[in-house]
Structure formats: C-alpha cells, structure tokens
C-alpha cells in the first residue's frame, strides 16, 4: 500500500510516516498543498492522508480540485478541527473518512486499510482468492489456513494483486506500489519477487499474462 501523507507539522509527519512504514506501508510526505497536488497528478497512490490546515490553502480546496480532475483515490482527512461544519466541508469536498487530532496511529492504519479495501470493492477485512487469504487488518497471509511468512516487499506485491483480482496488473503498476518513489528497481525485480511468491504459495497461484503483467489465479476474490 502506497500512501501520500500531506502534513505541514514536520514532527507529526515524521512520526506518523515512521509508524506507518514500520507497519509495512510505503509513505511519501508532502508539506503543502502545491506539492501534494503535483504528486497525486504524477504518481499513483492507494490513499491520501490530508491535513486541513496547510500553509498554502485549506486542504478541502486542494481535495475539491482533485475530485474535479477525476482523481478518485481514497482520502482520509486528518485535522485538529472538531467542529461538525469542518467535517461536513471535508466530506462535501470529497473526503472518504475523517480523524481528529490527537489520534492513535493504529486507528489511522485500520482506517487506511479499510478505505483501500473498499475502494477495490471488498467489504470484509479478509479477502480470499482460491486457497489464499489476506487478512487486511492483521496484515497476514495464509494458504489453506496456514500462515505464510513473507518479506515486506513480497507482502505489498501480493496484497496489491489480491486487492486488484481478477484484473491483470502491469509490472509498472506493481513497481509503483511496491517500491519507494526514489528507488530504481532493476527491470526484472518484479519477476524475481513473483517467483519467490510462487515458491511459497504454489506455482499456479499467480498467472503471467504475456505482454500485460500478472494476476491472481483461483477465481474471483471473496
């Protein structure tokens, strides 16, 4: 899962970003709306955590602009403002969820995972494809009920494939959601990760669609 955190409080942004990274998420930080606007227009994210009180305008103004541009990724508003009018303005601008400061990092993590899951059409926290199950709350994968040990990159890659199933996912898209923006992975690194996942999950678990990318085998997700 790749997240953009838009927060001008440096200490808070660094603390939250570190906690989310420790939980296995990819996190990029923008300190103002203009930077965030450029990033959501040029990169792919699974969700945005957006502060309302930015130095170059209210967060709802930037959010409204993204929605007008057709940028429909999930947005979680994070702010110290507790008035209902502020919350209503955020939802009216296109926010998907809202958390007030102070907050528990675990709550942010649960809400982000739920937003991304629902954005892919999954209501239940456990997504199953064949005999593979992804518990989005616990961030765990099982095969036929048995836990599977995965590296952070393997987990992010498999999670993205499972969320997207049965859609075919290109290598470029996988690379964007598995690696940090400042990393330049080798051209075959995705193929290597998929090979490792096949050894752990079964050779037929992930299909290669020639010229297009990869997809989960085993039918529709449940």
Q: What is the CATH number of the domain that holds 208?
A: 1.10.10.10
Statement to judge: residues 103 and 9 lie in one domain = yes
Split at pLDDT 50, 70, 90, the class of 220 is low
Total domains in the chain come to: 2
CA distance 208 to 210: 6
pLDDT score recorded for residue 197? 96
CA distance 96 to 210: 36
- Phi, psi (5° rounding) for residue 18? -65, -45
pLDDT above 90 (res 21): yes
CA dist 30 and 6 (Å) reads 5
**Residues 118-133, mean pLDDT to the nearest whole number:** 92
**pLDDT-based confidence at residue 83 (cuts at 50, 70, 90):** confident
Instruction: Assess if residue 221 is contained within a domain.
Output: no
Q: What is the pLDDT, as a whole number, of residue 222?
A: 64
Task: Supply the mean pLDDT for the chain.
Answer: 90
Phi, psi of 167 (to 5 degrees): -65, 145
Do both 149 and 64 map to the same domain? no
Whether pLDDT at 41 is above 90: yes
The answer to whether residues 111 and 22 belong to one domain is: yes
Domain boundary (76, 92, 119) is at: 119
- Greater confidence (159 vs 102) lies with 159
146 and 207 share one domain = yes
Report the distance separating Cα 21 and Cα 2, nearest Å.
10
Q: Are 17 and 7 in contact (CB under 8 A)?
A: no
Q: Which of 119, 152, 182 is the last residue of a domain?
A: 119
Q: Which of 95, 119, 143 is the last residue of a domain?
A: 119
Give the pTM: 0.86
Domain that holds residue 31: 2-119
For 128-160, how does the pLDDT look when each residue is reduced to its tens digit (9 = 90+)? 999 999 999 899 999 999 999 999 889 999 999
């Amino acid at each position: 899962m790749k997240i953009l955190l838009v927060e001008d409080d440096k200490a808070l942004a660094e603390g939250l970003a570190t906690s989310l990274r420790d939980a296995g998420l990819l996190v990029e930080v923008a300190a103002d709306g203009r930077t965030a606007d450029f990033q959501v227009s040029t990169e792919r994210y699974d969700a945005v955590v957006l502060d309302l009180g930015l130095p170059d305008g209210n967060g709802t103004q930037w959010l409204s602009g993204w929605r007008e541009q057709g940028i429909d990724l999930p947005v979680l508003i994070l702010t110290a403002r507790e008035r209902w009018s502020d919350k209503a303005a955020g939802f009216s601008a296109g926010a998907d969820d809202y958390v007030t400061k102070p907050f528990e990092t675990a709550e942010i993590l649960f809400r982000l995972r739920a937003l991304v899951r629902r954005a892919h059409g999954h209501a239940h926290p456990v997504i199953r494809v064949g005999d593979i199950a992804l518990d989005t709350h616990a961030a765990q994968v099982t095969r036929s009920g048995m836990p599977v040990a995965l590296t952070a990159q393997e987990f992010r890659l498999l999670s993205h494939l499972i969320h997207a199933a049965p859609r075919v996912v290109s290598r470029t898209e996988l690379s964007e959601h598995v690696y940090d923006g400042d990393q330049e992975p080798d051209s075959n690194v995705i193929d290597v990760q998929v090979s490792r996942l096949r050894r752990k999950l079964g050779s037929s678990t992930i299909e290669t669609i020639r010229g297009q990318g990869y997809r989960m085998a085993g039918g529709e997700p449940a």
